[in-house]
């Protein structure tokens, strides 16, 4: 039976912030000022006879002065994706900035055209002409492999010998804006499970090989599930001879569920059973069934084919480690610990958590929100919002598996973030450097905004009329996939959400008004 909510008890921090010791990551977490995103919300009627591509370039040329750019824009910007929203007929363009042929990290722009071909808005970050000087030049003096070795050596210095990388190590030459200057760097990742789960992004100076910046990317979460709690559910399996596998080939490129058997090798062993009507491993049942539920939510609601939009295989592993109190998306798959039975039950038991973790993957394939500071808080909030909406029974996250001996306890609350030590107003945000600059704490601000948009209410003397979860989640998916970019902050998500409401429901609509009021209520301008 599902736990009944009889009281609300103050809980601790929702997630473990990092797999690395505090000394193993740099403290600076602010978005570089030179790439802070700018929003331009106005209708620009393009000259007749132009293609959509030409209209985008024409608009940008028209806005050169506002963007502080000059010269040939096509030498500075490149179109990387084009998407059409079938429902509204809106065309969405995403561009990247290059300086002397080298991409600027996080400098992405989105331009949007309505069904009539008029440009309606721009949201993006870039380096102005006066900000494009690269402090250490534009010629690399170390190789990509040298940068990868430096990152591995630095991690091993902190935690000891590393196991096999979960993704083949790569290093991309990029210009990284940092503390008022631009540095030619290699961007790379360390992504391992041994001696403990680690996913750290490094920026290595491409001239002298020093570490410019590093931060943790490992996304952790907690959840509950029906199988773990003793209820019955149905899911798709695959028969192989006389054996059945937790392998669903009917959704995208598949959903597969494995067991690490309390070890740390991934993905582990594919779960099998000789009796397809009597699967007794609750953690595996929930991981598999809820992954199907998340896939179906994105496919049915938004037409999205799996995490990357292209049918990506969803791979889950349960029984990771011994009494492991966490779950995480490592960039390849989702991994669940069994919990210790006191603080947590098995993490795959809560659809909130599975939705939360798999949404980290959706974010990685869309806006790519950087996992620190305000963009990191938005990354966490987006996962909370979608994870909670997929279950849709209350406004709590992780309530089914957290502190099973305490009725009504949870990890976070979207309706009342303060209940679990989160701010619900921008003026009360955490401004320190721990937890990647408060990614798990400050997510409460945007969570509260979503709650007010969906449910309505009065907060800090601002009254908001609710529009319902369904419309609210439409707005946030639209914002995530079409407007947000790696360095988006709270102000940017307000602009993105308002513009998304305009795209979907019209300028001056009740929906757009409610979105603006909700962000007023949480102090985000």
Which residues are catalytic, by number? 357, 440
DSSP three-state, residue 189: strand
Token pair in block for residue 41: 């919300």
CA 146 from centroid of its chain's CA atoms: 29
Tokens 């591995």 locate to: 152
- The residues, any chain, with a CB within 8 Å of residue 359's CB and separated by 6 or more, are 294, 382, 383, 386, 387
What is the C-alpha to C-alpha distance for residues 25 and 213, in angstroms, rounded to an integer? Answer: 8
Dist CA 254 CA 41 (whole Å): 40
- The string of DSSP letters for 203-232 reads EEETTT--EEEEEE--EE-----HHHHT--
The dihedral region occupied by 462, where left means phi > 0, alpha psi between -120 and 50, and beta the remainder, is beta
Measured over the CA atoms of residue 24, residue 164, residue 168 and residue 326, the dihedral's sign is negative
Asked if residues 346 and 282 have their Cβ atoms less than 8 Å apart, the reply is yes
From residue 452, alpha-carbon distances to 31, 415, 422, 456 in Å are 27, 8, 16, 4
Contact predicate 232/193, CB 8 Å? no
Q: How far apart are CA 107 and CA 105, in angstroms?
A: 6
Other beta carbons within 10 angstroms of residue 71's beta carbon come to 9
Q: Quick check: 381 and 446 in contact, CB under 8 A? A: yes
Residues near 130 by beta carbon (within 8 Å), at least 6 away in sequence: 68
Measured between alpha carbons, how far is residue 125 from residues 32, 34, 220, 379 in Å?
A: 10, 8, 28, 17
Which neighbouring-strand residues pair with 81?
94
518, 520, 522, 523 alpha-carbon torsion, rounded to 10°: 160
Residue identified by tokens 């609210």 is: 472
Match 């896939």 to its residue by tokens: 295
State the Cα–Cα distance between residues 58 and 37, nearest whole angstrom. 20
Helices (H), 117-262: 144-159, 226-229
Question: In this structure, are residues 477 and 355 in contact, taking their beta carbons and an 8 Å threshold?
Answer: no
Cα–Cα distances in angstroms (integers) from residue 486 to residues 105, 374, 413, 515, in the given order: 9, 10, 25, 22
């Amino acid at each position: 039976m599902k736990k009944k909510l009889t009281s609300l008890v103050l809980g601790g921090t929702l997630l473990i912030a990092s797999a690395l010791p505090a000394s193993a990551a740099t403290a600076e977490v602010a978005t570089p000022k030179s790439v802070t995103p700018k929003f331009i919300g106005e209708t620009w009627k393009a000259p007749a006879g132009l293609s959509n591509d030409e209209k985008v370039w024409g608009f940008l040329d028209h806005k050169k002065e506002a963007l502080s750019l000059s010269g040939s824009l096509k030498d500075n910007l490149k179109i990387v994706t084009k998407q059409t929203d079938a429902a509204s007929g809106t065309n969405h363009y995403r561009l990247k900035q290059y300086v002397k042929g080298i991409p600027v990290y996080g400098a992405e722009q989105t331009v949007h055209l309505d069904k009539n071909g008029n440009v309606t808005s721009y949201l993006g970050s870039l380096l102005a002409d006066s900000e494009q000087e690269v402090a250490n030049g534009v010629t690399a003096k170390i190789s990509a492999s040298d940068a990868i070795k430096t990152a591995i050596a630095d991690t091993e210095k902190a935690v000891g010998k590393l196991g096999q990388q979960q993704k083949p190590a790569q290093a991309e030459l990029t210009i990284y804006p940092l503390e008022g200057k631009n540095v030619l760097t290699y961007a790379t990742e360390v992504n391992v499970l041994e001696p403990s789960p680690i996913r750290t992004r490094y920026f290595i100076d491409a001239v002298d090989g020093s570490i410019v910046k590093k931060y943790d990317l490992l996304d952790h979460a907690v959840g509950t599930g029906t199988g773990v709690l003793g209820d019955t559910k149905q899911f798709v399996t695959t028969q192989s001879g006389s054996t059945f596998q937790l392998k669903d080939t009917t959704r995208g490129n598949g959903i597969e569920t494995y067991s690490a058997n309390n070890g740390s090798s991934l993905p582990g062993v594919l779960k099998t059973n000789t009796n397809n009507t009597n699967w007794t491993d609750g953690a595996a049942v929930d991981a598999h069934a809820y992954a199907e539920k998340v896939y179906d939510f994105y496919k049915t609601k938004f037409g999205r084919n799996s995490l990357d939009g292209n049918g990506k295989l969803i791979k889950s592993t349960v029984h990771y480690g011994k009494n492991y109190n966490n779950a995480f998306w490592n960039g390849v798959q989702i991994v669940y610990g069994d919990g210790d039975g006191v603080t947590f039950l098995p993490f795959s038991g809560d659809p909130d958590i599975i939705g939360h973790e798999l949404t980290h993957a959706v974010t990685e394939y869309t806006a790519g929100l950087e996992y620190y500071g305000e963009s990191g808080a938005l990354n966490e909030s987006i996962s909370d919002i979608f994870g909670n909406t997929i279950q849709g029974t209350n406004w709590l996250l992780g309530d089914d598996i957290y502190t099973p001996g305490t009725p009504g306890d949870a990890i976070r609350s979207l309706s009342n973030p303060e209940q679990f030590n989160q701010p619900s107003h921008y003026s009360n945000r955490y401004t320190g450097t721990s937890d990647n600059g408060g990614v798990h704490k400050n997510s409460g601000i945007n969570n509260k905004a979503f709650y007010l948009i969906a449910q309505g209410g009065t907060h800090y003397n601002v009254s908001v009329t609710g529009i319902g979860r369904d419309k609210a989640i439409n707005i946030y998916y639209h914002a995530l996939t079409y407007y947000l970019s790696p360095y988006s902050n709270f102000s940017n998500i307000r602009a993105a959400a308002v513009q998304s409401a305009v795209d979907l429901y019209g300028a001056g609509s009740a929906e757009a008004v409610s979105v603006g009021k909700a962000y007023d209520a949480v102090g985000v301008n």
